[in-house]
A and B are shown apart, each in its own frame.
Chain A
Amino acid sequence: MTQVHIITHDNEHLHRDKLEQYFRLRHEIFVKERGWLDLKRPDAREVDSYDNKNTIYLLAIDQDRIVGGQRLYPTLLPHMISEVFAPMAERGIPSARHIFEWTRYLVVKERRMGRTDCRLLAALQQFCLEEGVTEVTAVVEMWWLPRWQQAGFKVRPLGLPSMIEGQACIAASIQISQDSLDHVRRLAGLRGSCLVRDPRISPILDRIPHVAA
């Protein structure tokens, strides 16, 4: 049965193989399948400067195999929207201790018809609710918007769509809420939590380095 595991700096030494699998899947999906050639690397592992001790990974794992994944990164630090996609957020870049950036979302090909998407979306909402994260920001391809909305996500555009690698993409902010969590669980018939808690992981809002305003 698929469950979503949380990996942070606190427990990554126990999950190196899972992270490696996730990096290779990112290369497989973003570089080979989607053709984002800027991310191409000779070792076939897609890793960037936002994979570091501040990153939180939520990985959907079924019997030791990664079937989906996503990562969160503090917006108080330089992050993708502030450093790479700032022109897409003409209405302002949300940045606060309780706001995280959500990136590198993926589901393996053979699970795209099932409930893995809903499980990952539910895990994101649940994790953020439990940790006190109130909002996540993301750059997403426009065709994903109605999927999020159907899953019950409240999405505010940060700017107009722009073309990235031939696809219309948008920077957006998503409000975390119990309503959204209930909605996506209902939609997929998910009962209870699908998030695996690890007591080694310290509360994430306490971990954020303090940055002068």
Chain B
Amino acid sequence: MSGRSFSYATEAFEFIEGLENLVTPQDVINAVEKSFGIFGFENFIITGLPNPRESFEQVVLLKKWPVGWFNIYAKEDYVRVDPIIRLCRTTVQPFEWSEAPYDRASEPQAAEVMDRATDFRMKEGFCLPIHGIQGYEACFSMSGAHLDLSPQKKPALHLMAMYAFERARQLLKPSPYNGSGLLTPREREALTWAAAGKSAADTGEILGITERTVTAHIASACQKLEAANKTQAVARALQFKLIGL
């Protein structure tokens, strides 16, 4: 192993151990700013991915973004068309912004987000998607005007970003997150089996509870999702990504 990559490893492990001692969200922002600056990053955001009923501002955990850009991004609701956010939802691998596909001709809004970001020196970037337990989705996206992301640096960056995300999550406890907080685990389980074509009786057998209890979970899920019946509840739960197939 070369001396060069060794120094990034040391930096990464020291950064991770240092996170333990941080007490406030601002401490995390300062630590990330300092350590990620070494890689050329100037701005970053750690945010949950909003479901259709949440706004962007509601799900942001930590940010060091130019104020002007944050205001534009929120006002234009760019989170719905941002190709970086879109790729985050479908991959677990970290990626460079330039790897997030969009079509300039048919997706002018996607092009607009990427273009306007460069007005704020956010030309190049690196993004780490987070797919947590029980449907929690988030990302850590960072950018700079001149990045130098050699293959030796990326593993250190990947690891540091994951631990920084976790520390931010612990300190801010994003709860109740709508994805997992809206429905209880039992309600999600009952809907998942309904989506798989199982009756309440079948589901009761699978989960080891009575049919009546299953029906009660479904009824409660219908109420929370403002659904008229089980079919609509399943459709909404899939749409909001509260359950999967």
Interface residue count on the B side (C-beta < 8 Å) = 37
Task: Say yes or no for A58: interface residue by CB 8 A criterion.
Answer: no
Closest chain A CB from B1 CB (angstroms):
7
User: Is the beta-carbon distance between B186 and A160 smaller than 8 angstroms?
Assistant: no
**From residue 55 to 80 of chain A, which have CB atoms closer than 8 A to chain B?**
62
Contact of A1 with B158 at beta-carbon distance under 8 Å, contacts A91-B13, A110-B196 already known = no
Closest chain A CB from B204 CB (angstroms):
11
Hey, which chain A residues are within 8 Å of B207, CB to CB? 1
Number of A-B contacts (CB under 8 A): 76
Hey, which chain A residues are within 8 Å of B9, CB to CB? 90, 159-160
Task: Say yes or no for A108: interface residue by CB 8 A criterion.
Answer: no
User: Is the beta-carbon distance between A151 and B133 smaller than 8 angstroms?
Assistant: yes
Contact of A157 with B13 at beta-carbon distance under 8 Å, contacts A90-B1, A187-B133, A188-B185 already known = yes
Hey, which chain A residues are within 8 Å of B135, CB to CB? 113
Beyond the given A143-B93, A168-B158, A189-B184, please list 13 additional residue pairs across the A-B interface where CB-CB is below 8 A: A113-B188, A113-B189, A113-B244, A141-B92, A145-B162, A146-B162, A150-B133, A157-B16, A160-B8, A160-B12, A161-B155, A161-B158, A188-B185
Closest chain A CB from B216 CB (angstroms):
15
Q: Can you spell out 8 A-B residue pairs with CB atoms less than 8 angstroms apart?
A: A1-B208, A90-B1, A110-B196, A143-B129, A146-B131, A150-B132, A168-B158, A189-B184
Task: Say yes or no for B62: interface residue by CB 8 A criterion.
Answer: no
Question: Nearest 7 CB-CB pairs, A to B?
Answer: A1-B208, A143-B92, A160-B155, A161-B155, A149-B166, A150-B132, A150-B133
Hey, which chain B residues are within 8 Å of A157, CB to CB? 13, 16, 159
Interface string of A127-148 (1 = CB under 8 A from B): 0000000000000011101110
User: Is the beta-carbon distance between A142 and B13 smaller than 8 angstroms?
Assistant: no
Contact of A146 with B132 at beta-carbon distance under 8 Å, contacts A115-B185, A188-B185, A189-B184 already known = yes
Contact of A147 with B192 at beta-carbon distance under 8 Å, contacts A1-B207, A1-B208, A157-B13 already known = no
User: Is the beta-carbon distance between B189 and A114 smaller than 8 angstroms?
Assistant: yes
- Rounded to whole angstroms, the CA-CA distance of A86 and B129 in the bound complex is 28
Within 8 Å by CB of A147, from B129, B132, B188, B196, lies B132
Interface string of A146-171 (1 = CB under 8 A from B): 11011100000101111000011010
Hey, which chain A residues are within 8 Å of B185, CB to CB? 114-115, 188-189
* CB nearest to B16 among chain A residues: A157
Hey, which chain B residues are within 8 Å of A189, CB to CB? 184-186
- Rounded to whole angstroms, the CA-CA distance of A142 and B130 in the bound complex is 10
Q: Which of A146, A147, A167, A170 has the most CB of B within 10 A?
A: A146
Contact of A161 with B184 at beta-carbon distance under 8 Å, contacts A90-B9, A91-B13, A115-B189 already known = no
User: Is the beta-carbon distance between A143 and B131 smaller than 8 angstroms?
Assistant: yes
- Rounded to whole angstroms, the CA-CA distance of A142 and B134 in the bound complex is 17
Closest chain B CB from A174 CB (angstroms):
14
- Rounded to whole angstroms, the CA-CA distance of A88 and B33 in the bound complex is 28
Task: Say yes or no for B81: interface residue by CB 8 A criterion.
Answer: no
Hey, which chain B residues are within 8 Å of A170, CB to CB? 159
Interface string of B1-44 (1 = CB under 8 A from A): 10000001100110010000000000000000000000000000
**From residue 148 to 199 of chain B, which have CB atoms closer than 8 A to chain A?**
155-156, 158-159, 162, 165-166, 169, 184-186, 188-189, 192, 196
